[in-house]
C-alpha cells in the first residue's frame, strides 16, 4: 500500500498582532487570567502571624511619621477622572477590569488605609501587598497622563513600605532583599566569587585582546564601572563585553574588589528603605575610596533609579555625590568623542524599547537611539515610544516576586505583546532593551507568544559590531 | 612605621625608572610605592605568567596570577598570588594556600598582616599566616585591630537554602573574633571597629527587619534604632560611639543614648582626637549640604556634593576634611577652605606639631602635593600621599616625573602660593 502524503498544514497567514490577540482569548478561556489561587509562602506566613491590633499600630505610626505632605497632596488632589487607566498595562491586559487601573489600585490600598485609619485585617494587608508588589511596576506611565501629575508609583511604593513594616512582602523578593543585607549584592555572591568572576573574564578576554586588563581596585580611575548582582552570577559575558568596549575605547576604568560593586537594589522595591540607604552608601563610598572620577553603570534600569533618584536621596545626597552615568549615555558619549566606532552595522531591523527608569525617570531616550542608529542598519520605532513606551511588566520588583506570580505577570502584559507584535509585523527581528529587568519581562513575552524576536543589550551589539583594531 | 630612619636629607633622588623591569613584560600595572618612597612595585605580565617587579627586579618565581600588591607600613611588599591555589606573598615568601585570599590588611605599624580567606567553601581570616580554626559558610566585613592583636568579621553561622526567609529572620549571623563567635545571633551584622589595643570591639547589628543597634564586646545596647552606622571606640574610655537614626534624624549615641544634642539629616564617619577628648563627625545639617561637626557643633562651611577624609591634628586642637561642591574638591582646615579647587583630593594629614596640613591633589590630570593651600611645582604624572618629617619642617613627596620614580624632600617653606 502506498503511503498517502499527509496534507501540508495550512499556512498561518494571521499577523503577529492577530496571533497575540487570539492567544489571549485562549488563555482567558483556559483560566490563566484567574489569579485568585496564587500562594506565596511569605505572604501566607505573615498573614498568620499578624493581628489587627498590631496592624493598626504599625500603620498609624507609619502614617504619622512617613505619610507626609506628598502622600496627602496626592490623595486629596486626585479627582478620580480615570485618565490614568488606559496608560496601565495591567488594566489594558486584564480586559480593562477597573480594579487594575492605577486609580483602582489606589482605591484598593491607600484610600482604604486612610478611610479605616489603619484598621485592616491581615488578609487585607496580604491583598494590598499583592496589589502593590505585583500589579504595579512603579513604571510611572500613568503619571504621564495624569492631569495633576500624581505619581501613583510613589503611592504604590508607599504601600509596599507599609507592607514591609508588617513583614508582608512576597517571598522571592524578600529573599533578594536579604541577600542585599547579607552580602551587599542581590545574588548572594560572595566576596571571592566576585573577584574570581572578574579575573576569569579578563583571562577569557585575553584571547581576543592580548593586552586587555580588567583592573580591580585601581585608584584614581576615570570610570568606576558598576554592575548588578546577576552579572557575575550568570551573565559574566556582559562583564567581558563591557571590558572589551572600554579597552577598545581607551577608557581608564576599574571595578571595585569589595562590596559596593552591585548597584542594584531590591530593598527599594520591598520598602526596606533603611537597607536601600545602606546599599547606596556602600556603592558610592566604594567609588569614593577608589577616588574614581565618575561611576558608569551597566544596562540596568531599576538600579539607575536607586542610585540616581531614590536611594541617594534617602542617604542625604541631593544628587549623586559622584557623577553617575548610565551606559546608554556613556556609549553615546564615547561615539560622539570618536572613541567608539562601528565596524559594520547590525544588519537586521531593530526596535528600541525605552526602559521606564532611564527614560521616564531620566530622559535618556535619545542617547539610546543615537547608539542604535550608529550601530544598526535600520531602527523601526515601536508605538508608543520614549516616555510613553509600554512597560515590560518585569521592573519595579515585579519579576523578583518570582515563580508564584509569573503567569499573572506575563498575562498582565498582553498589551506589551501586542506592541511587540506590531513591530514584528513590520519585519523587526531584534528588540534592543538596555535594562536587565526589561530583558526578563520581554523574554517571557516573546516565549509566551512565540514572537519571532531576539533581545539584545546595546552592549551586545556594540561589542559584536564595533571596530576592534587590536583584536586577534 | 618608624619614619625617623627615613632619608630626610636628600632633596631629590631619582629612585628608579617607572617602567623598569628585568623581564620581558607585556605590561606592568598596579604600581605601588613603599611608604618611604624608596621602592616601586608593579605586577608584571610575562606572556601568560605573572611576576612581581620591585625597583625593576623581578622577584623569584612566577604565578598564574598576581594582583593587589601592597606595601605594609613597615615596608614589606605583599601580593596575592595564584598557582592552582591562592597565597599571600610577603617579601616573596608564600604563605599557606587557600581556595581564595583577598582583602589584605595591616596593623598600624605593619608588623601584622591579615586577609580574608575561603577554604573548601568556608570563610574566615588569616593573620600572619595563621588561619582561624573555625571557618563559616560566609563571612564579610573583615577587620584587623589597629595593633594587629585580633581579627574579626561578620559571619554566617549556618548554611541557608534558597528563599529560607524565616530562618534568615530568626538570625543566623554572628560576630567572630579570632574565629570564635560571640554568643548572640543577629539578623545581620555589618561593619565593626576595634579599639586601638584590640581589647574592645563594637559592631553594627540588626536585631530584626526593623531594629538596629550596636553590640560592644558581645553585649547589645539596650536601645534600638531604625538605622545605625559604623561605631568608633573612644581612646579615652573605650566606649563605642555610633551614629543612630531617631525620628528620621541622625545623631551620635553611646550605650544606646544620644550624646549629642544636635541632630542632622545625616551623620557618619565619626572620629576621635588621639586623647579621645574630642569627637567629630561628618554631618548634613540640611538635606543636600555637608560639613563637619566637632563636639556637637557644626562648621559653617558646607558643601553640596559630600565631605570626607576628616581627622584631628595630633593634639586634637585642629581638624581638617575634604569638601566637594559641583565636582570640585576643597581642603578645609578649621572651617576655612583653602583657596584652591581640585579635580580630586586625597586624605589630608597634619604635621606632627599640628601647624601644617598637606594633601595630595590633582588638577587636569596632573598630580602634586599642597601644603597649607600652596602647591608644589606644576604637577606630575603621579604622586603619593605626602609624609611630614618628624620635625614638621619638611614633606616627603614621591612622584612619577619624566618616567622616573622621584623622591623629593621639600621644606615646608618651599611651597609657594
Tens digit of each residue's pLDDT (9 = 90 or more) over A243-294:
999 999 999 999 999 999 999 999 999 999 999 999 999 999 999 999 999 9
Are A357 and A457 within one domain?
Answer: yes
Which three three-digit cell numbers place residue B34?
613603599
In a domain, A25, yes or no: no
A455 near B CB under 8 A: no
User: What span, in angstroms and rounded, lies between the C-alpha atoms of B292 and B77?
Assistant: 36
**Co-location of A396 and A306 in the same domain:** no
Residue in A158, A165, A145 with CA at minimum distance from that of residue A73: A158
Does residue B93 carry a pLDDT above 50? yes
Structural domain includes residue A26: no
d(CA A390, CA A282): 33
CB within 8 Å: B344 and A178 = no
* Residue to test with chain B: of A57, A163, A191, most B Cβ within 10 A: A191
User: Do A216 and A309 reside in the same domain of the chain?
Assistant: yes
Q: What percent of chain A has pLDDT over 70?
A: 98
Q: Do the beta carbons of residue B50 and residue B63 sit within 8 Å?
A: yes
The DSSP line for B340-381 is --BSEE---EE-TTSS-EEEEEEETTEEEEEETTEE-SS-BS
SS3 of residue A439 by DSSP = helix
| C-alpha to C-alpha distance for A349 and A426, rounded to whole angstroms | 9
Interface contact flag, B306 A182, Cβ < 8 Å: no
- Tell me phi and psi for residue B238, to 5 degrees: 75, 5
Helix (H/G/I), strand (E/B), else coil: A143: helix
Q: A34-38, A177-181, A329-333, A391-395: which has the minimum mean pLDDT?
A: A34-38
Out of B27, B102, B123, whose CB is closest to A257?
A: B102
Does A216 contact B156 at a Cβ distance shorter than 8 Å? no
In a domain, A18, yes or no: no
Residue indicated by cell numbers 575605547: A249
Q: Is residue A24 part of a domain?
A: no
State the CB neighbour count (10 A cutoff) for residue A458: 24
> Least CB-CB distance to B116: which of A191, A216, A272?
A191
Closest-CA residue of chain B to A183: B140
Cα–chain-centroid distance for residue B332? 20
Q: Which residue's entry shows cell 489594558? A: A92
> If you ran DSSP here, which 8-state letter would residue B46 be given?
E
The beta-carbon neighbor of A211 closest among B27, B100, B166 is: B27
A247 shares contact with chain B (CB less than 8 Å): no
- Locate A445 and state its grid cell: 513575552
Is there a contact between A192 and B99 if contact means CB atoms under 8 Å apart?
yes
Does residue A191 lie within any of the structural domains? yes
Looking at the structure, do residues A50 and A101 belong to the same domain, yes or no?
yes
Of A152, A169, A186, which residue is a domain's last?
Answer: A169
Q: Determine the structural domain holding residue A98 and report its residue range.
A: 41-169
Do residue A328 and residue A418 come from a single domain? no
* Chain A interface disruption, residue of B115, B163, B322, most A CBs within 10 A: B163
The reply to whether residue B100 touches residue A192, judged by beta carbons under 8 angstroms, is yes
Greatest Cα-to-Cα distance within chain A, rounded to the nearest angstrom: 86
Complex prediction ipTM: 0.97
**Number of continuous H segments (helices) and E segments (strands) in chain B:** 1, 42
Q: Contacts of residue A179 in chain B, CB cutoff 8 Å?
A: none
CA distances B223 to A110, B204, B230, B253, Å, are 32, 13, 16, 10
Cis ω on the peptide bond leading into residue A384 (within 30° of 0)? yes
Rounded to two decimals, the pTM is: 0.97
C-alpha distances (whole Å) from B269 to each of A18, A258, B191, B361 are 61, 19, 12, 22
CA distance B317 to B315: 6
A69-83, B71-85, B269-283, range with the lowest pLDDT: A69-83
pLDDT tens digits, A53-83: 999 999 999 999 998 889 989 999 999 999 9
Residues from chain B contacting residue A199 (CB–CB below 8 Å): 65, 67
Q: Is A14 inside a domain boundary?
A: no
Residues A139 and A222 in one domain: no
Is A447 found in the same domain as A435?
A: yes
The confidence score (pLDDT) of residue B47 equals 81
Given CA atoms B260, B262, B267, B270 in this order, what sign does their dihedral have? negative
d(CA A140, CA B323): 36
All 3 cell numbers of residue A72? 496627602
Give the three cell numbers for residue B242.
555610633
What is each CA distance from A255 to A185, B70, B182, in whole angstroms? 14, 17, 34
- Cβ separation of A321 and B346 shorter than 8 Å? no
Q: Which helix (H) or strand (E) holds A423?
A: helix A414-425
Please give the interface size between A and B, counted as residue pairs whose CB atoms are below 8 Å apart. 108
The answer to whether B382 and B368 have CB atoms below 8 angstroms apart is no
Q: With 90 as the cut, is the pLDDT of residue A223 above it? A: yes
pLDDT of residue A7: 65
Q: How far is A227 from chain B (nearest CA, A)?
A: 20
Domain end point (choices A291, A309, A333): A333
Residues A139 and A192 in one domain: no
C-beta of residue B126 within 8 angstroms of C-beta of residue B117 = yes
CATH code for position A429: 3.40.50
In a shared domain, residues A363 and A236: no
Q: Is residue A274 part of a domain?
A: yes
Domain count, chain A: 3
Q: Give pLDDT, residue A1.
A: 45
More confident residue, B306 or B162: B306
Element at A455 (helix H, strand E): strand A454-456
A416 with A350, same domain? Answer: yes
Q: Is the peptide bond before A355 cis (omega within 30 degrees of 0)?
A: no
**Which residues is B155 bridged to in the sheet?**
B139, B174
Given an 8 Å threshold on Cβ–Cβ distance, is B287 in contact with A315?
Answer: no
From A101, A136, A169, the end of a domain falls on A169
Question: Do B227 and A277 count as a contact with CB atoms less than 8 A apart?
Answer: yes
**Mean pLDDT taken over chain A:** 96
* Same domain? A122 vs A66: yes
Q: Where are the beta strands (DSSP E) in A223-382?
A: 223-226, 253-254, 294-297, 324-326, 346-352, 376-379
Same domain, A377 and A411: yes
Is A283 inside a domain boundary?
A: yes
- For the stretch A39-52, pLDDT in tens is 999 999 999 999 99
d(CA B411, CA B394): 4
Q: Which three cell numbers stand for residue B67?
A: 594582583
Amino acid at each position: 500500500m502506498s503511503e498517502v502524503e499527509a496534507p501540508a498544514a495550512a499556512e498561518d497567514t494571521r499577523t503577529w498582532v492577530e496571533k497575540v490577540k487570539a492567544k489571549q482569548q485562549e488563555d482567558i478561556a483556559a483560566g490563566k487570567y484567574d489569579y485568585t489561587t496564587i500562594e506565596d509562602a511569605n505572604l501566607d506566613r505573615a498573614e498568620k502571624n499578624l493581628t489587627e491590633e498590631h496592624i493598626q499600630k504599625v500603620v498609624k505610626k507609619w502614617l504619622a511619621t512617613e505619610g507626609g505632605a506628598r502622600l496627602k497632596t496626592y490623595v486629596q488632589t486626585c479627582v478620580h477622572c480615570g485618565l490614568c487607566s488606559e496608560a496601565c498595562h495591567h488594566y489594558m491586559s486584564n480586559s480593562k477590569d477597573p480594579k487594575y487601573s492605577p486609580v483602582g489600585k489606589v482605591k484598593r490600598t491607600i484610600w482604604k488605609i486612610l478611610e479605616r485609619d489603619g484598621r485592616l485585617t491581615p488578609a487585607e494587608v496580604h491583598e494590598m501587598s499583592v496589589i502593590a508588589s505585583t500589579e504595579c511596576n512603579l513604571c510611572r506611565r500613568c503619571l504621564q497622563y495624569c492631569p495633576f501629575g500624581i505619581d501613583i508609583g510613589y503611592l504604590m511604593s508607599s504601600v509596599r513600605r507599609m507592607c514591609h513594616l508588617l513583614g508582608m512582602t512576597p517571598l522571592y523578593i524578600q529573599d533578594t532583599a536579604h541577600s542585599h543585607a547579607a552580602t551587599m549584592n542581590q545574588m548572594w555572591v560572595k566576596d571571592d566569587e566576585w573577584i574570581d568572576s572578574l579575573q576569569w573574564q579578563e583571562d577569557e578576554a585575553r584571547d581576543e585582546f592580548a593586552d586587555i586588563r580588567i583592573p580591580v581596585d585601581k585608584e584614581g580611575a576615570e570610570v568606576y564601572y558598576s554592575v548588578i548582582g546577576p552579572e557575575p552570577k550568570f551573565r559574566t559575558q556582559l562583564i567581558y563585553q563591557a571590558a572589551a568596549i572600554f579597552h577598545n575605547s581607551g577608557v581608564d576604568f576599574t571595578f571595585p574588589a569589595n562590596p559596593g560593586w552591585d548597584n542594584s537594589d531590591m530593598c527599594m522595591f520591598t520598602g526596606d528603605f533603611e537597607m536601600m540607604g545602606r546599599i547606596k552608601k556602600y556603592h558610592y563610598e566604594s567609588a569614593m575610596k577608589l577616588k574614581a572620577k565618575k561611576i558608569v553603570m551597566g544596562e540596568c534600569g531599576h538600579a539607575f533609579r536607586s542610585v540616581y533618584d531614590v536611594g541617594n536621596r534617602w542617604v542625604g545626597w541631593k544628587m549623586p555625590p559622584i557623577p553617575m552615568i548610565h551606559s546608554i549615555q556613556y556609549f553615546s558619549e564615547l561615539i560622539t568623542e570618536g572613541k567608539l566606532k562601528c565596524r559594520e552595522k547590525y544588519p537586521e531591523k531593530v526596535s528600541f524599547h525605552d526602559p521606564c527608569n532611564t527614560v521616564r525617570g531620566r530622559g535618556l531616550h535619545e542617547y539610546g537611539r543615537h547608539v542604535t542608529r550608529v550601530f544598526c542598519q535600520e531602527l523601526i520605532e515601536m508605538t508608543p515610544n520614549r516616555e510613553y513606551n509600554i512597560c515590560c511588566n518585569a521592573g519595579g520588583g515585579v519579576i523578583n516576586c518570582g515563580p508564584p506570580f509569573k503567569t499573572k505577570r506575563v498575562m498582565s502584559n498582553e498589551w506589551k505583546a501586542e506592541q511587540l507584535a506590531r513591530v514584528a509585523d513590520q519585519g523587526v527581528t531584534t528588540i534592543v532593551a538596555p535594562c536587565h529587568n526589561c530583558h526578563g519581562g520581554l523574554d517571557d513575552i516573546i516565549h509566551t507568544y512565540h514572537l519571532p524576536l531576539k533581545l539584545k543589550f546595546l552592549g551586545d551589539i556594540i561589542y559584536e559590531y564595533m571596530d576592534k583594531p587590536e583584536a586577534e | 612605621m618608624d619614619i625617623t630612619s627615613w632619608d630626610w636629607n636628600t632633596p631629590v633622588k631619582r629612585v628608579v625608572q617607572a617602567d623598569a623591569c628585568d623581564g620581558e613584560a607585556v605590561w606592568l600595572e598596579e604600581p605601588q610605592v613603599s611608604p618611604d618612597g624608596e621602592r616601586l612595585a608593579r605586577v608584571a605580565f610575562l606572556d601568560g605568567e605573572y611576576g612581581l617587579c620591585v625597583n625593576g627586579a623581578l622577584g623569584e618565581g612566577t604565578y598564574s596570577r598576581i594582583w593587589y600588591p601592597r606595601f605594609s607600613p613597615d615596608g614589606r611588599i605583599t601580593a596575592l598570588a595564584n598557582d592552582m591555589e591562592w597565597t599571600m606573598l610577603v617579601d616573596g615568601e608564600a604563605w599557606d594556600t587557600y581556595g581564595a585570599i583577598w582583602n589584605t590588611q595591616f596593623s598600624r605599624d605593619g608588623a601584622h598582616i591579615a586577609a580574608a580567606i575561603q577554604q573548601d567553601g568556608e570563610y574566615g581570616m588569616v593573620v600572619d599566616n595563621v588561619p582561624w580554626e573555625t571557618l563559616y559558610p560566609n563571612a564579610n566585613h573583615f577587620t584587623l585591630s589597629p595593633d594587629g592583636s585580633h581579627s574579626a568579621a561578620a559571619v554566617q553561622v549556618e548554611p541557608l537554602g534558597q528563599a529560607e526567609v524565616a530562618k534568615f529572620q530568626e538570625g543566623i549571623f554572628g560576630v567572630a573574633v579570632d574565629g570564635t563567635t560571640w554568643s548572640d545571633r543577629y539578623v545581620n551584622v555589618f561593619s565593626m571597629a576595634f579599639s586601638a589595643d584590640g581589647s574592645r570591639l563594637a559592631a553594627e547589628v540588626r536585631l530584626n527587619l526593623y531594629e538596629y543597634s550596636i553590640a560592644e564586646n558581645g553585649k547589645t545596647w539596650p536601645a534600638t534604632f531604625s538605622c545605625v552606622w559604623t561605631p568608633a571606640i573612644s581612646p579615652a574610655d573605650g566606649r563605642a560611639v555610633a551614629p543612630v537614626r531617631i525620628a528620621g534624624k541622625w545623631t551620635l549615641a553611646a550605650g544606646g543614648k544620644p550624646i549629642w544634642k544636635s541632630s542632622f539629616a545625616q551623620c557618619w564617619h565619626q572620629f576621635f582626637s588621639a586623647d579621645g577628648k574630642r569627637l567629630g563627625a561628618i554631618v548634613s545639617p540640611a538635606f543636600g549640604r555637608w560639613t563637619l561637626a566637632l563636639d556637637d557643633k557644626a562648621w559653617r562651611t558646607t558643601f553640596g556634593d559630600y565631605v570626607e577624609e576628616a581627622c584631628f591634628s595630633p593634639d586634637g586642637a585642629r581638624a581638617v576634611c575634604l569638601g566637594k561642591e559641583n565636582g570640585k574638591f576643597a581642603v578645609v582646615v578649621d572651617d576655612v577652605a583653602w583657596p584652591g579647587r581640585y579635580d580630586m583630593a586625597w586624605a589630608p594629614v597634619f604635621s606632627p606639631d599640628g601647624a601644617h596640613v598637606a594633601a595630595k591633589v590633582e588638577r587636569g590630570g596632573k598630580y602634586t602635593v599642597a601644603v597649607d593651600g600652596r602647591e608644589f611645582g606644576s604637577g606630575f604624572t603621579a604622586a603619593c600621599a605626602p609624609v611630614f618629617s618628624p620635625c614638621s619642617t619638611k614633606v616627603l613627596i614621591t612622584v612619577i616625573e619624566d618616567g622616573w620614580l622621584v623622591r623629593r624632600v621639600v621644606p615646608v617653606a618651599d611651597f609657594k602660593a
